[in-house]
Amino acid sequence: MVLGIEREQMGVLRRALEARVSDLQQRLSSEPGDDGYRREAQIATQLLRRVEALERDAGHRTWGAADGESYPGDD
């Protein structure tokens, strides 16, 4: 299957997947025996890695939430 995704859409998709993976990981830490969450977390993580690879292949710079933070001495 081939999807036509624009640059802006790719970034939104990546951020949505990052948020979902984070949410699922938090749920798994509180409900470790839930196989449904575990499977969804695996699939969401796989999709996130694919989107990141597509961005790299297309020459887009990927960034995480920590990239927007400033640290002491970063002046």
pTM over 0.75: no
**40: which residues sit within 8 A by CB, 6+ positions away?**
24
Q: What is the pLDDT of residue 66?
A: 44
The residue extents of the domains of the chain are: 11-58
pLDDT tens for the chain, 75 residues: list them: 666 778 788 889 999 999 999 999 998 888 777 788 889 999 999 999 999 988 888 775 555 544 444 334 444
Q: What is the pLDDT of residue 65?
A: 46
Q: What is the pLDDT of residue 67?
A: 47
**Which segments within the chain are labelled E, that is strand?**
none
Q: What is the pLDDT of residue 72?
A: 42
Backbone angles phi, psi at 12, to 5 degrees: -65, -45
